[in-house]
Amino acid sequence: MSENPPPQAARKKNGAVTLSMVTYFLLALRNLTRNMRRTVLTLIALVVAIGSLTFMLTLTEGYLGSMKDNFVLTNFGHIQVNAPGFQEDGLIDNYMADTGPAIAAAQADPNVIASSQRVYVSGLANVATASAAIIVIGVEPEIEKSVTRMAGFVTDGAWLEVGDNGGVVLGIDVAETLEAELGDKVVMTTQAPGGDFSSQVFRVRGVMESGTPEIDRLMAIVTLEAAQAWLELGDGATTVVLRVDNHENTDVVYERMLDQLDGQLFETQRWFDVDPFIQQIVESSDTSIIFILAIVVVVVLGEIINTMFMALYERTREFGLMEALGTGRRQLFAMLLWETTVLVSIGGALGYGGAAILTAIYGKRGIDLTAFTESLSSLYMDPIIHPVMDLKITVYILATIAITALLAGVLPAWRATKLNPVEAMRQI
Amino acid sequence: MALIETKDLMKVYGLGEVSVKALDGVNLKVEKGEFLVLAGRSGSGKTTLLNMLGALDMPDSGTVRIHGEEYQQLSKNKRALFRLRHIGFVFQAYNLIRVLSARENVAYVLELQGMAKAERLERADKWLEEVGLGGFGKRRPDQLSGGQQQRVAVARALAAAPDIVLADEPTANLDSTTATELLDLLVELNETHNTTFIFASHDPDVISRAKRLIQMQDGRIASDETKG
């Protein structure tokens, strides 16, 4: 046998040699094609499960994103700075006489896109035949366009012009209650600082419909200048509103604003501090996503474990042969794990790819849920949902695929290593 | 030192309340280059002995020494490596890995031994040529006849350069012409490469080719005859 010496060079010190990844991959791929019908059925289950899970995640991301956008950009902004106590009691007495430091801090922040001053005060709107409870908002008409979408909600008439200190834009429900039309006079009464009642006449310049009940039923928007003059606030305002470049930076900007305004009489709040409802929906949605992920993993796991055990049972004799030939336990283990991984990866990739295509199509086109507009608008949801694919979803799906492959592969692979070659080769 | 040496080899199988001595104190020495046939009726212990010699099964007591090395104390993994280093197998049927081509089947054990790809493919081709299957390398087992499959198994066993080739009823599933051709090949390989062959068989054709014939009976060596 000297002309055919045993190869030793590539062997490790303990004598173990690992099969190459190409060999594992080749064996996995070819073994999967042994029973095409079973492999295809398992793949279909995987594609449907991973595909629908991915699409559901992109859909959720889409509507949660739109909810946050709508809540923040409809009216509130990402961050509001008020005088201490104002957010709690809403009294005009708690106004900021000097908003300069808050405006300066906001303008200096690199992640703040725009900031505006507002005056909030509750009151009553009257016409000859009707009255309605209102919240008056004094805004800087041009700057406000960069902070929120309020100007875009005007459906009748026009948004306020700079210097139009006699005009008002009413929420659509307020206008309907008052039966007020464009150009009509509306008398608005409120309490000025100190408790004196003060009335002012405004003409209706526009009517706005945001789809958000609290805006449509309560808002009466005037210019900041008009509000300041009416309520004798000088240059003061109740609120400075900040728009941040994206939701993820809200906390960073908030912390910086706290630092900048430290020691001064301001109260700074994020949008979810003021109204935690949307944030709770986002957080509960994260919890339900993990729950659904777990269900999908369990269902898919059952399917794949079944498939792999069938494969193990059918090939017991071959595993016995491989072991007899010198295939080690680790190699047998790796072989079945590879097979599971290839199966899950193909199914996962197809499912993910399919969902990504659907997301791309419906991301542009949107999914029309107009039939549910009433209930959706109260949740700040758009009636047309645009699914969004992002890194977080990709990571979720990759993790699901990896966990599923690992869990589904380990048990059959472990069983393969426990086979006795003599008994295994006796199997028919 | 003998290539293989067994001492007081015992193996008992329990069948319900009855126990059967498959091997009952087998002492055997095999030298390099032998062409040995273990013969005997079914249940005589020849396959059990072959499995012991191949480190596929463990004796209840006694020792097997191959090349001076005992495998009984080794872990399952190390026994696999032991087989890989010392032993080649040709089984009765289902000898090949179904999803691999003839060439890949031969190269498989070479890869397990850590041989580089180009070298193992070259050696696989060489051995397929040697067993008369040059040009059949790309065929999968289901594209080969039973005799051709056994030849691939022989090529695989020899390509790994083992000390011993163990063959359990290698001709049982072959027609007589194919069986004769396979035996001619094995005799030739034994003579040209001095490879040690040990068969377990009750095929008269195999028995007639034996250079040493051991008759097994009730788990014991009933006779041990070396032919001239």
Tell me the pLDDT band of A377, cut-offs 50, 70 and 90: low
Cα A314 from Cα A316, distance rounded (Å): 6
Of the candidates B133, B134, B120, B137, the one whose C-alpha atom is nearest the C-alpha of residue A23 is: B120
**DSSP-derived 3-state class of residue B133:** coil
What pLDDT digit, counting tens, does each position of A406-426 carry?
888 899 999 999 988 888 887
CB contact under 8 A, A329 and B80: yes
Q: Please report the pLDDT score of residue B228 as a whole number.
A: 66
Q: Are strands B61-66 and B69-70 parallel, antiparallel or unpaired?
A: antiparallel
Looking at chain B, which residue has its C-alpha nearest residue A419? B76
Q: Confidence band (pLDDT; 50, 70, 90) for A372? A: low
Confidence of residue A273 (pLDDT cuts 50, 70, 90): confident
Mind telling me how many Å the CA of B99 is from chain A's nearest CA?
Answer: 6
Nearest CA in chain B to A425: B94
d(CA A85, CA B6): 95
Using a 10 angstrom Cβ sphere, with 0-12 exposed, 13-18 middle and 19 or more buried, the burial of residue A3 is exposed
Q: Does A201 touch chain B (CB under 8 A)?
A: no
Please state, in angstroms and rounded to a whole number, the distance separating the CA atoms of residues A24 and A30: 10
What was the pLDDT predicted at A5? 47
**A317-347: per-residue pLDDT in tens?**
999 999 999 998 888 999 999 999 999 999 9
User: Distance between CA atoms of A327 and A332, rounded to whole angstroms?
Assistant: 7
List, edge to edge, every strand of the sheet that includes B196-200. Answer: B87-90, B164-168, B196-200, B35-39, B212-217, B220-226
- Note whether B116 contacts A10, CB cutoff 8 Å: yes
Chain B residues in contact with A323 by the CB 8 A cut-off are 80
Domain spanning B4-64+74-226, CATH architecture:
3-Layer(aba) Sandwich (3.40)
A3 has pLDDT over 50: no
A23–B110 CB contact, under 8 Å? no
Average pLDDT per consecutive 10 residues, chain B (228 residues; last block may be shorter): 92 83 93 95 92 92 91 88 91 86 94 91 93 92 92 91 91 86 90 92 92 95 88
Of A96-100, A212-216, A407-411, give the lowest mean pLDDT range.
Answer: A212-216
Q: Identify the pLDDT of residue A236.
A: 93
Q: Which positions in chain B touch A327 (Cβ < 8 Å)?
A: 80, 112
Domain definitions of chain B by residue range: 4-64+74-226
Q: What are residue A142's phi and psi, to 5 degrees?
A: -75, -45
**Interface list for A 16-55 with B (CB within 8 A):** 16-17, 19-20, 23, 27, 30-31, 34
- A426: contact with B, CB 8 A cutoff: no
Mean pLDDT of A63-68: 83
Model confidence at A265, in pLDDT bands (50, 70, 90)? confident
pLDDT for position B88: 93
Distance CA B22, CA A161 (A): 105
Interface test with A, best of B11, B77, B87 (most A CBs within 10 A): B77
Query: Would you state the pLDDT for residue B178?
Result: 85
Q: Which amino acid is at A55?
A: F
pLDDT at B38: 96
Write down the ipTM of this complex. 0.91
Q: Is A13 on the interface with B (CB under 8 A)?
A: no
b/e burial code for range A225-252 (CB count within 10 A of at least 16 → b): bbbbebbebeebbbbbbbbbeebebbee
What's the pLDDT band for A231 if we cut at 50, 70, 90? very high
Using pLDDT thresholds of 50, 70 and 90, give the confidence band for residue A1.
very low
Q: Is the pLDDT of residue A4 over 50?
A: no
Which chain B residue has its CA at the smallest distance from A28's CA? B99
- SS3 label, residue B56: coil
pLDDT single digits (tens) A176-199: 999 999 999 999 999 888 888 899
- For residue B120, the distance in angstroms to the closest alpha carbon of chain A comes to 9
A317–B114 C-beta distance less than 8 A = no
Greater confidence (A175 vs A265) lies with A175
Q: Which residue of A has its CA nearest to B57?
A: A422
Q: Which residues of B touch A (CB under 8 A)?
A: 51, 54, 56-57, 76-78, 80-81, 83-85, 89, 91, 94-100, 108-117, 119-120, 123, 156, 158-161, 193-195
SS3 B76: helix
Q: Which residues of A touch B34 (CB under 8 A)?
A: none
Q: For residue A331, what is the nearest residue in chain B, using CA coordinates?
A: B112
Q: What size, in residues, is chain B?
A: 228
- Do the Cβ atoms of B161 and A4 come within 8 Å? yes
The shortest CB-CB distance from A27 to any of B91, B94, B99 is to: B99
Query: Which one of A2, A3, A4 would you mutate to disrupt binding with B, by most B Cβ within 10 Å of its Cβ?
Result: A4
Cα(A186)–Cα(A134) distance, rounded to whole angstroms? Answer: 12
Chain A residues in contact with B194 by the CB 8 A cut-off are: 1
Whole-angstrom Cα distance, residue B184 to residue A365? 75
Query: Parallel, antiparallel, or unpaired: how do β-strands A112-126 and A131-139 relate?
Result: antiparallel
- From the list B103, B187, B196, the residue with the least C-alpha distance to B141 is B103
- The 10s digit of each residue's pLDDT in A111-164 is 999 999 999 999 999 998 899 999 999 999 999 999 998 999 999 999 999 999
Distance from CA of B176 to the nearest CA of A (A): 24
Higher pLDDT, A70 or A37: A37
Nearest to B109 among A8, A323, A325 (CB): A325
Q: Identify all chain B residues contacting A422, using CB atoms and an 8 Å cutoff.
A: 51, 56-57
